[in-house]
Amino acid sequence: MSLSSLQLCLLFSSALFCLGLMAALSRSNTILVLLGVELMLNAANVNFIAFWRYGPNPEAATGVVFVLFAIAVAAAEAAVGLALVIAIYRHQKNIRLQEATRLKG
């Protein structure tokens, strides 16, 4: 195959992304869904780094900076997500995502 390394990285990230997507869709446990989402985020980071690595002007390092920020935000998101899960657990005594559909307060 005449894939360049960049395309390889992209393939890797898209595979990772779809894996995260399938995980998020298939698992009914909220935490795993969150983790699936985390995977998707990391797939995006991979893309960034890949394009930074093989992109036209790597010295600008925007890709890297962006990934740093992405990691920070993902961390915050994971923290809040899991806190929510715990809160839901307190109400629902189980954390099946399908049952957490009560939109009212």
Partner 1 sequence: MMALILIALVTLASAAAAMLLRNLIHSALLLTASWAGLAAFYLWAGAEFVAFAQVLVYVGAISMVVLFAVLLTRPPQPMPVTPPNTLGRALVALITGGAVLGVFIGAIVSSPLPATAAPAPTVSVKQLGLELAGRHAGALLIVGALLTVALLGAVVLAATDREPVGASLDDVRGRPPGTPLQKSGDAP
Partner 2 sequence: MSLSVQLLWLIPALPLLAAVVGTLAPRGEFKLSASTAIAALTLSFLLSCGALITALADPSAHLTSNFTWFDLGHGAVRLGWLLDPLTALMCVMVTFVGLLIFVFSTGYMRDDANAKQFFCFLSLFAAAMLGLIIANSLLLLFVCWELVGLASYLLIGFWFHKPEAAAAAKKAFITTRIGDLGLLLGLLWLYDSTGTLLLYDEGQGVLDPVVLAGLGGSTAIGLLIFCGAVGKSGQFPLHVWLPDAMEGPTPVSALIHAATMVAAGVFLMARVFPLLTPDALIVIAFTGAITALLGALIACAQSDLKRILAFSTVSQLGYMMLAIGVGSWVAAIFHLLTHAFFKALLFLGAGSVIHAAHHEQDIRALGGLRGPMKTTFVTFAIGMMALAGVPFLFSGFWSKEAVLHAAHGWGFSQIPFYAGLVAVVLTAFYMTRLVAEVFFGHPRGNGAAHAHENTAAMTLPLGLLAACTILLGAIGTPWWPWLQRTLDPEFLSEPGGAGLMATSIVLVALGLGAGWALYGRKLRQKSAAADPLAVIAPRAFAFLAARMKFDKLYAATFGRLSDTLAACADALDRHVWDGVVRLLARLGRFTGLVNREADEEGLNAGFDATSESIRATAKAYSRAHTGDAHGYLLMIAFGFVVLVFAVLVGGGR
In angstroms, give the least distance from the CB of 84 to partner 2: 11
Q: Interface with partner 1 includes 35 (CB under 8 A)?
A: yes
* Measured torsion, CA atoms of residues 60, 54, 46, 12, in degrees rounded to the nearest 10: 170
Q: How is 17-75 classified by DSSP, letter by letter? A: HHHHHHHHHH--BHHHHHHHHHHHHHHHHHHHHHHHHHSS-GGG-HHHHHHHHHHHHHH
Which 46-85 positions form the footprint of partner 1 (CB under 8 A)?
46, 49-50, 52-54, 56, 58-59, 61, 64-65, 67-69, 71-80, 82-85
Q: Interface with partner 1 includes 100 (CB under 8 A)?
A: no
Bridge partners of 29? Answer: 96
Residues found near partner 2 in the complex (CB under 8 A): 21, 24-25, 33, 97-98, 100-103
In angstroms, give the least distance from the CB of 101 to partner 1: 14
Indicate the length of the chain as a whole number.
105
In angstroms, give the least distance from the CB of 21 to partner 2: 6
